[in-house]
Amino acid sequence: MNAELLAALLVLGGALLAGVRSVLGPTFYDRVLAVNVFGTKAVMLLAIIGFIGDRSGFLDIAILYGLINFIATVALLRFVESGRYSS
């Protein structure tokens, strides 16, 4: 097993843990954080896959995620801030 694949699998493992937390997460904030972490892992995974496949286009998608992932998090938090959510 080569190093890149190992790195990808480790990142995927981290993503899996974040995913588990997003289902279990006792409070809403645990879940938001888990989704955010998952997005970061996706950025890393895209960069690694791009390195494995030797494609530069992957970095464009990774940048896109870095920029956009923020919006979903902000929207979720604003939703809760507006007081329309009771768990």
Partner 1 sequence: MDPVLLLDVLLLILAVLAAVAAMLQRDLLGSVMLMGIYSLLMAVIWANLFAMDVSFTEASVGAGAATVLLLMALTRIGTRERSGGDHSLPALVLVVLTGVVLLYGTSELPRFGDPQAPAQLHIAPRYLAQDIGKVSDSATPQDSPHGEGDFGHHVPNTVTAVLASYRGYDTMFETAVIFSAGMCLLLLLRPIPRRSPETVTIDESGSTSHQKSESVVLRTIGGMLIPYILVFGFYVQMHGEIGPGGGFQAGVLVAAAFILHSLLFGRAATDRWLPRWLVDLAMSLGVLLYAGTGVACMAMGGHFLDYSALDRVHPAEAEALGMTLVEAGVGLTVASVVLTIVRKVQGGTR
Q: Closest separation between CB of residue 83 and partner 1, Å?
A: 8
Cβ–Cβ under 8 Å, residues 32 and 75: no
Interface ranges with partner 1 (CB under 8 A)? 2, 4-5, 8-9, 12, 15-16, 19, 22-23, 28, 31-32, 34-35, 38-39, 42, 45-46, 49-50, 52-53, 55-58, 60-61, 63-65, 67-72, 74-76, 78-87
Q: How many other CB atoms are found less than 10 A from the CB of residue 82? A: 8
Q: Give the CA angle between residues 44, 65, 53 to the nearest 5°.
A: 45
**From the CB of 8, what's the least distance to partner 1, in Å?**
6
